[in-house]
Amino acid sequence: MHKILVTGCAGFVGSTLVERLLGDGHAVVGIDNFNNYYDPQIKERNLDHVLGSKNFKLFRADILDFKKLTEIFKVEKFDKIIHLAARAGVRPSIEDPLLYSQVNVLGTTNLLKAASDMNVKQFIFGSSSSVYGNSKQIPFTEDDLCENIVSPYGASKRAAEFFARSFHKNFGLKIVILRFFTVYGPKGRVDMAPSLFTNAILEDKPIIKFGEGDSSRDYTYIDDIIDGIVKTLETDLDFEIINLGNSNPVSLNEFIETLEKLLSLKAVIKNMPMQNGDVENTWANIVKAKKLLGWEPKVQFTAGLTKYVEWLRAQ
């Protein structure tokens, strides 16, 4: 068993991961600044099930505060780090690219430096399919040069990846970069389509459909993402970039139709043009994940969306 730091521990993926790690018997330390990207009370509730655990410790801290990070690292002496803290969202990154570069690039560099200084055994970085942008190479593979990034968010994640590689090369820090593809499921972020669309349909409010509906996303269920992270913890890789995706893109029109069937309700649709920063398609090549991690997704889209809708209705 290990002592593991999870940054962004109060978020959707972070809090779900903390529960899994504690269940597996690890000691977990979480860092989160509970920012207001969405309602901080949601993040507080995300940790309700773990705050009483003797194996979990929470630090309300900002990854931009290098002095505080250093203090935490010196006291806690982590074996491994799973870095999930970030400013998320493509469209908000266009509105405030400075904030995204600070948190996602400098914040990541702070953690890499602290990890290197304290000889941490493994650094797992949660990156994003947004680094591929509108790549011409479909499905997206890890050796893509990522020359078609279309959002500051994607650019900030790619820049953080470069910093991670440099820390491996210069300081020998063992690093695995996991590129997540459109994660959804219970506790899913309120600014993403599953939450926005489901709530709108249930409340008979219009959903906004950007473009003709033929854009697609490689929706990946939260449990599969968590399994991929846990399998990565069990490896001893020096440096790798690995896609974690369902490898089964779903068009926006198909997404809406599936949701209508699950809810037995018709969506009121407001059509809008495609937005700046939005990519046309995402699709993960997962050959590398299968080979290096022994991982592949188990939950297909309709089954995962069914679970999400059941969870949302129970709230």
* Sheet strands (E) in 116-225: 122-128, 175-180, 183-184, 206-210, 216-217, 220-221
228-254 pLDDT per residue, tens: 999 999 999 999 999 999 999 999 999
153 tagged catalytic? yes
How would residue 276 be classed by pLDDT, with cut points 50, 70 and 90?
confident
96-124 pLDDT per residue, tens: 999 999 999 999 999 999 999 999 999 99
Mean pLDDT (whole number) for 124-147? 97
Mean pLDDT (whole number) for 183-209? 95
Q: Would you state the pLDDT for residue 274? A: 85
Residue 235 CA to chain centroid, in angstroms?
20
Helices then strands, counting H and E runs in the chain, come out as 12, 13
Q: How far apart are CA 242 and CA 276, in angstroms?
A: 27
What percent of the chain stands above pLDDT 90? 97
Q: Which of 6, 49, 23 shows the shortest CA–CA distance to 187?
A: 49
How would residue 225 be classed by pLDDT, with cut points 50, 70 and 90?
very high
Dihedral of the alpha carbons of 103, 108, 110, 111, in degrees to the nearest 10: 130
277-287 pLDDT per residue, tens: 889 999 999 99
What percent of the chain stands above pLDDT 70? 100
Active-site residue (options: 153, 184, 221, 308):
153
pLDDT > 90? residue 275 = no
How would residue 315 be classed by pLDDT, with cut points 50, 70 and 90?
confident
17-73 pLDDT per residue, tens: 999 999 999 999 999 999 999 999 999 999 999 999 999 999 999 999 999 999 999
Block residue for tokens 């990565």 = 232
**Amino acid at residue number 265:** L
